[in-house]
Amino acid sequence: MKAIAHVDGLHRCPWPKEDPLYVSYHDTEWGVPEYDDRALFEKLILDGFQAGLSWITILRKRDNFRKAFDDFQPEKIARYTPRKVEKLMQDAGIVRNRLKIEGTILSARSWLDIMEKSDGFSDLLWSHMDGRPKVNTFKTIKSVPAETPLSRAISKDLASRGFKFVGPTIVYAFMQAVGMVNDHLVTCYRHAELASKWQADKRDKAL
């Protein structure tokens, strides 16, 4: 499936369809390079919760997730008790999966360990990319892979550090979301925008 034209005249990737929330996410968030340590942690955890579900399900519950998980502050999540886990299991506003909730706590502790012992979570992730996004040139959704050698390498790295629910497919979806790869279809208006924006940002930093 190729990019599709919307009523505003713009061609977009086909997956948001006409859902206003999904279209907004596509236009303003998906594929935008993210370098904030905490924001990257949040997106990785949410992608883990998405496994087996559609992303729009998570997106509709994202505000509930943020409230339930203390705005995804790893410092707080790392101290969650069994009592807190049971409270989360009763929260209908999120995906109530015990393994994923407990995995989030372990991942938060791993994140804190990285922040304490290295240059940070963002630097760790982006070091796999040499600090810059990979701009792909896919023409159809069928051409977009579910995982890549790079997502497998990052998955292995994160798992070795104690992160949970970071399989290669989850990691690749995460890489797409946080702009480590630009997987907007070449006929989608955001593909060129994001590619040119990164080049402009690069020039500004060089000045």
Give per-residue pLDDT as tens, 108-128: 999 999 999 999 999 999 999
Number of domains in the chain: 1
Of the chain, the percentage scoring pLDDT greater than 90 comes to: 90
Three-state secondary structure of the chain: CCCEECCCCCEECCCCCCCHHHHHHHHHCCCCCCCCHHHHHHHHHHHHHHCCCCHHHHHHHHHHHHHHCHHHCHHHHCCCCHHHHHHHHCCCCCCCCHHHHHHHHHHHHHHHHHHHHCCCHHHHHHHCCCCCCEECCCCCHHHCCCCCHHHHHHHHHHHHCCCCCCCHHHHHHHHHHCCCEECCCCCCHHHHHHHHHHHHHHHHHHC
Supply the range of the domain harboring residue 61: 4-206
The reported pLDDT for the residue numbered 196 is: 86
The reported pLDDT for the residue numbered 4 is: 87
pLDDT along the chain (207 residues), means of 10: 89 96 98 97 97 94 98 98 98 98 98 97 96 94 97 98 98 98 97 80 47
The reported pLDDT for the residue numbered 146 is: 97
- Give the CATH number of the domain where residue 123 resides: 1.10.340.30
Q: Report the alpha-carbon distance of residue 147 to residue 47 in Å, rounded.
A: 14
